[in-house]
Structure 1
Amino acid sequence: MKKIVNLAIITALLSAAPFGVYAASDSAASASPSATSSASADAMSEGEIRKVDKDAKKITIKHGELKNLDMPAMTMVFQVKDPAMLDKVKQGDKVSFVAEKVGGQFTVTQIEVKQ
């Protein structure tokens, strides 16, 4: 019985090997500069500033779907990567932004006020 279990494990590992190689080569390709910039463009979301809290270095945004985080539209509080971002926005501004999970916290890493 032990030989059958070992054989099953070895077979599973060998059959998965081609997929592991493919995944590794695919991730290497996505690390190229052009792939990174398109990934950032894909991560851009639309929203409206509801509150700016400079003391806490947080921003509340009513946003559409955050595809890169697999999150539906809602209003939520985000940390900001750079507190200087908070000087560029005010309540009511329509924005395009990128949110990422950084250190377990949802964080705005880029933000632009829409004209």
Structure 2
Amino acid sequence: MKTIAKLAFVTAILAAPFSLYAGSHSAAPASASSSANEKTEGEVRKVDKDAKKITIKHAELKHLEMPAMTMVFQVKNPAMLDKVKQGDKVIFVAEKVGGQFTVTQIEAKQ
């Protein structure tokens, strides 16, 4: 009986590093599973066409590890600012481009 217990203990000790490795690498990392094209809901607080910026009160941006807040974004294409106005509920995509948080897609929520 002691031999079986010792064998089980040794097997568990030897297998532990492999099971830890498999468990920590079996799923895709959070950043890889979150899409850079993740759509987020928000509300437009300000549109600044001259500065090519938009202020949005937004939900959590998980892929950017950012909590819900109100912030100013650059826009990828200034023409996007013609699609929305202050007070609009929107669905948008934000990415970090050149070190700046940038709205790459935006549409008024229907």
Larger radius of gyration: 2
The Cα RMSD (Å) is 2.6
Secondary structure of 2:35 counterpart: helix
Q: Give the aligned partner of residue 39 of structure 1.
A: 35
For structure 2, the residue ranges without an aligned partner over 5 or more in a row are: 1-24
Residue 104 of structure 1, CA deviation: 0.4
Secondary structure of 1:72 counterpart: coil
The structure 2 residue matched to 1:81, chosen from 76, 92, 96, is 76
Specify which structure has the higher proportion of helix: 1
Work out whether 1:64 is the aligned partner of 2:59. Answer: yes
The structure 2 residue matched to 1:106, chosen from 98, 101, 105, is 101
Amino acid at match of 1:55: D
Work out whether 1:50 is the aligned partner of 2:41. Answer: no
Amino acid at match of 2:66: M
Separation (CA, whole Å) in 2 of partners of 1:77 and 1:40: 19
Deviating above 2 A after TM superposition, structure 1's stretches of 4 or more consecutive aligned residues are: 38-41
Q: TM-score, normalised by structure 1?
A: 0.65
Residue 73 of structure 1, CA deviation: 0.3
For structure 1, the residue ranges without an aligned partner over 5 or more in a row are: 1-21
Over the matched positions of the two proteins, sequence identity in percent amounts to 79
**Count of aligned pairs between the two proteins:** 85
